Structures are given as structure tokens and as C-alpha cells.
Amino acid sequence: MGVSRETSHPAAAEGVFGERLPTMSAYVGLLADQGVLRGLIGPREVPRLWDRHILNCGVMARDLVSGATVADIGSGAGLPGLVWAIARPDVDVTLIEPLLRRTTFLSEVVEDLDLSNVTVFRGRADEAPGQYDVVTSRAVAGLDKLVRWSLPLVRPGGTMWAIKGSSAQREIDEALSTIRAAGGTNPRVKSYGEDVVETPTTMVMIDKVG
């Protein structure tokens, strides 16, 4: 499927994705087409897919450890899970999503782009099997809820990575008791992409007690 002018990649994408850029561009094309038709992406988001979604999710992918296992809770259209899986074929990504129309789209993208490092799991976080080195999410819920959903899936010594907004530190402060009760430690805020995207990506990171 060709990528329309609206979804042509910005120059910054070359530095972030390198040789994986053609595959990422194909994913953006699918988002702009089937993602919109199936109601996973709003039509107004199409011109902003690269800056607001793909680069926003991709700027931290380089910090994933090679060979890491990653779970993306409430993956939706694959943000950030598919972005990370495409950018980092050396990590294994499980996309956790309860809605059938979304898991159908995710499975089709995985097949179309031949992503051998991705598993699509239809269900809630508390139904997902196993534990992971990194459990991530984006625009799913407040941190208090995310901690209760995510930390049980983080292996001891692993880390929860939650993409958040400007209220990240306040959410940490309000969720401290939940974090501790769930076995979390060292909650912190890290910013990514200051030299890549207009609005840097804010990440809340919480370690799981080993």
C-alpha cells in the first residue's frame, strides 16, 4: 500500500528509525487507511501521525535492552508496542488488547509487515500470561490504575514504562501507596525526544522489586 503525501515521513524519522524506516512507513500507511476506516485513528490525526504518534512513541525505543520481553497494555492501534517492535526487531513484544476489532487490525499488521517478534493477545491485562522485562502503556488510564494493571506483569527486576503527559509527577505523588503495595520502587519521570519532536515524550518509569 502506498503512503500518501499526508503521511510522508519527516526528516527526523530517518535518525530515529534508520534502516527500519521503510517498515515504519508501511505501518503508518496502514494506520492512515485501515486504522481510520476501523475507527482506531481519528481522520484528523492522519497528518500528525508521524510527529504526534510514531516519533512520540519511537524516541525511547533505543533504551530497550536487546532481547527484552515487552508487553503493551491496551495496545489499541499498536502504540507504542508496534512502533517498538518495528524499530527494535531484537526485542519480543506482546500486544495486550481486549477488543476484537483492534486485535484483528493488530494481527493483520503483524502479518502484512512480517513481524516475527510480535504476539497479539486478546484479553485484559490480568488475563495475560507470564511476566515481562518491560510493561508499557500509552493513554490508557491514570497511573494509579495502570500500576495495578501493569506491575503484576513486570518480572522482578523489570520496569514499568508508562507514557504520560505533563501531570506525570503529580500522578506519581498521588499513586505512591499503590506503587509500594504492588511491589514498585524508584518511580521517576524521564523525558525523551527533546531534539526530535515538538513536545518531548514524558515517561513514568517504576522498577519492580527484585
Task: Write out pLDDT tens, residues 129-148.
Answer: 899 999 999 977 889 999 99
- Indicate the domain borders of the chain: 64-208
* Residue 184, strand partner residues: 208
pLDDT tens, position by position, 71-114: 999 999 999 999 999 999 999 999 999 999 999 999 999 999 99
Amino acid identity, position 4: S
Instruction: Please state the φ and ψ torsions of residue 103, each to the nearest 5 degrees.
Output: -65, -30
Superfamily, domain 64-208? Vaccinia Virus protein VP39 (3.40.50.150)
Confidence of residue 2 (pLDDT cuts 50, 70, 90): very low
Identify the residue whose cell numbers are 521517576.
188
Mind giving me the DSSP string for 170-202? HHHHHTHHHHHHTTEEEEEEEEE-TTTSSSPEE
* Residue 115 clears pLDDT 90, i.e. is over it: yes
- Say what the pLDDT of residue 5 is: 38
pLDDT tens, position by position, 31-73: 999 999 999 999 999 999 998 899 999 999 999 999 999 999 9
* Residue 159 clears pLDDT 60, i.e. is over it: yes
Cα–Cα distance, 116 to 138 (Å, whole number): 23
Select from 141, 143, 163, 133 the least CA-distant residue to 64: 133
User: How many angstroms separate the first and last alpha carbons of the chain?
Assistant: 45
3-state secondary structure of 39: coil
- Across the chain, mean pLDDT equals 93
Cα–Cα distance, 15 to 196 (Å, whole number): 9
- Say what the pLDDT of residue 3 is: 40
Confidence of residue 8 (pLDDT cuts 50, 70, 90): confident
* Residue 1 clears pLDDT 50, i.e. is over it: no
Residue 155's H or E segment, with its range, is: strand 154-164
